[in-house]
Amino acid sequence: MNTTTEKAYAKINISLDVTAKRPDGYHDMLMVMQTVSLCDDIEVSLVENQRSSATCNLHFVPTDERNLAVKAAEKFFKAAGIEGRGALIKMHKLIPVGAGMAGGSADAAAVLRALNRLCGRPFDEKALCDLAGEVGSDVPFCIAGGTMLATGRGEILSPLPELPHCSIVICKPEFSTSTPELFRKLDAIKLRCHPDTNGIIEALESGDLVKLSRRMYNVFEDVPDRRHSTIAEIKSTMLDCGAMGSIMTGTGSAVFGIFSDDAAAQGACEKLKKEFKLCYTAKDQPRLEV
């Protein structure tokens, strides 16, 4: 077998806190992360004597080494000591780009899982996560996903009890945010509020979706940005339609809402679609076996 397929699941941040700026320029994070069923489809084929390359259904996505999936493939072969081989990566993207949903990281992680399988599993899950950390801060989480507490740059992961089953509505406004720029803007302000991460972990331990939804919080929403009135509008619509909680994910610009009722989630999605093109319903996605 030298072709395989993988689903690359998007992530949402149930909470996102930035705890310190580090000497290496990165920031220390404290995040509860969750994979959702919204995903890209990735096909990976092994080829002889060719560099790794990608194709994508979206014309504006770069398909050279700037693409994290291509970067991941090159790192994989180097770390595994495999010479004279490359990966042909076909990407069919559904996860909105520039949304804070780790779409590029999920694609890179899917390529690492696929190549590991195609090449006879040279890496165990821990080694694959270490390799993923060299590709990007969110890539280790995307290797197995599920419900995780992420610290450090985002690469130090501890499993949490699974998110209770729910419907998740995702809405991406037209604008996108630049991650490095948002971190720079965050450095210029003093954060006054932080998420109650322990409260969220307790809510997961007791399977209490109401308690969890009330505590969802993302400090990036506190960075002054005039476009955040659009974020506020989407959140209000989600709540008006019955969401138990709604926040922006990652560095945005996508917003999600948690619903216990599938019909209410569908209603929210339809209402938001009247104003925003990129709206989706999804489910919580459990951790993958790697």
Residues that bind ligand C5P (CB under 6 A): 26-27, 29, 136-138, 153-154, 179-180, 183
Using the minimum distance from each CB to ligand C5P, give the nearer residue, 137 or 237.
137
Longest dimension (CA), the chain: 56
Using the minimum distance from each CB to ligand C5P, give the nearer residue, 84 or 180.
180
Q: Could you tell me the two tokens for 114?
A: 């696929």
Instruction: Check if 138 is active-site.
Output: yes
Residue with tokens 């319903």: 281
Burial zone of 49 (CB within 10 Å; 0-12 exposed, 13-18 middle, 19+ buried): exposed
Smallest distance, ligand C5P to C-beta of residue 173, A: 21
Give dist(CA 41, CA 33) in Å, integer: 21
In contact, 256 and 169? CB cutoff 8 Å:
yes
Distance of CA 83 to the CA centre of its chain: 31
Smallest distance, ligand C5P to C-beta of residue 128, A: 17
Q: Could you tell me the two tokens for 107?
A: 């694609």
Using the minimum distance from each CB to ligand C5P, give the nearer residue, 92 or 153.
153
Strand partners, 6: 42
Instruction: Check if 11 is active-site.
Output: yes
Smallest distance, ligand C5P to C-beta of residue 277, A: 26
Q: How far is CA 170 from CA 32, 75, 100, 153, 164, in A?
A: 17, 32, 11, 25, 18
Residue number of the CB atom closest to ligand C5P? 137
Residue of 17, 40, 138, 225 with catalytic role:
138
Using the minimum distance from each CB to ligand C5P, give the nearer residue, 183 or 276.
183
Phi-psi region of 142 (alpha: psi -120 to 50; beta: other; left: phi over 0): alpha
CA angle in degrees (0–180, nearest 5) for 220-12-29: 50
Using the minimum distance from each CB to ligand C5P, give the nearer residue, 178 or 236.
178
Active site amino acids: 11, 138
